[in-house]
């Protein structure tokens, strides 16, 4: 691996960790940076596989809560209802992600313009929802009814388009469906565990034949950087949301998308 590739991989890992659980689209950021720096992995697998670092960071924070729910489920109705709701929320993205995988990777991942417009439009939607006085019916993410969880899962499917943001789609959908800001963000975190794990496993299986030892080294470096930075974000994000809401992230999305469009249309 060339020295130039090392610093790009490290940068991408840091960006993945910083953006994965924020409603700004980590995949959109990674693909735009890769496009402008001339970095591309085999089958566009790097951008998905380094998510393992972010997954493990999230798991380190929520493992105790999830294990507690799993052990409590046989005797606790609320725990059972939450786990059923989480499974329902995860199912739509699982099915559509598998059916549309090749189209997403070969068409949508290759269109920086789509990513930029998704960032801008998603930012406008998030800004509008954050400033709207939506009625709050659920303040505890563990108390989300199963059918409402399924509806949030359908919103998550919008994030199959790079630039939309998985966390952005689930948080915005959850708030429209009556969850408070903190509850929406935490439910998005919990839903990320099965969703991101499945995406990682599926992409690894699909692309393992195209990967070399050098690709493994890139992914390992990106994984490490993503783990460290994601751990910091997960621990601080809820506090930021509680104080500032989602407006800063919406503005950031719009700014990145606009700058990206300007750069893509600038004369060479």
Q: pTM of the entire structure?
A: 0.87
Domain of 194 in residue numbering reads as: 3-264
* Secondary structure (3-state) at 36: helix
The whole-number average pLDDT for the span 149-158 is: 96
pLDDT at 1 over 50: no
pLDDT at 245 over 50: yes
Per DSSP, helices labelled H in 136-212 are 146-156, 166-176, 181-207
Total domains in the chain come to 1
Could you tell me which of 167, 149, 153 has the C-alpha nearest to residue 234? 167
pLDDT at 174 over 80: yes
User: Tens of pLDDT along 13-46?
Assistant: 999 899 988 999 988 898 899 888 888 766 566 7
């Amino acid at each position: 691996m060339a020295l130039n590739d090392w610093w790009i991989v490290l940068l991408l890992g840091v960006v993945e960790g910083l953006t994965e659980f924020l409603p700004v689209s980590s995949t959109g950021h990674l693909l735009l940076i890769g496009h402008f720096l001339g970095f591309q992995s085999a089958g566009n697998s790097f951008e998905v596989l380094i998510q393992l670092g972010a997954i493990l960071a999230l798991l380190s924070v929520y493992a105790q809560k999830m294990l507690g729910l799993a052990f409590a489920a046989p005797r606790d109705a609320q725990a059972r209802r939450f786990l059923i709701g989480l499974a329902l929320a995860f199912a739509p993205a699982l099915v559509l992600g598998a059916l549309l995988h090749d189209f997403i990777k070969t068409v949508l991942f290759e269109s920086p313009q789509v990513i930029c417009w998704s960032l801008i439009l998603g930012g406008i939607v998030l800004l509008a929802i954050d400033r709207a006085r939506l009625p709050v019916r659920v303040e505890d993410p563990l108390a989300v009814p199963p059918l409402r969880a399924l509806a949030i899962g359908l919103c998550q499917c919008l994030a199959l388009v790079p630039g939309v943001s998985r966390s952005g789609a689930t948080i915005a959908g959850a708030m429209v469906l009556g969850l408070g800001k903190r509850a929406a963000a935490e439910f998005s975190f919990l839903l990320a565990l099965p969703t991101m794990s499945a995406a990682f496993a599926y992409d690894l299986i699909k692309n393992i034949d195209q990967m070399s030892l050098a690709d493994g080294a890139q992914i390992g470096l990106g994984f490490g950087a993503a783990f460290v930075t994601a751990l910091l974000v997960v621990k601080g994000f809820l506090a930021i949301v509680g104080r500032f809401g989602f407006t800063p992230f919406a503005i950031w999305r719009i700014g990145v998308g606009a700058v990206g469009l300007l750069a893509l249309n600038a004369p060479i």
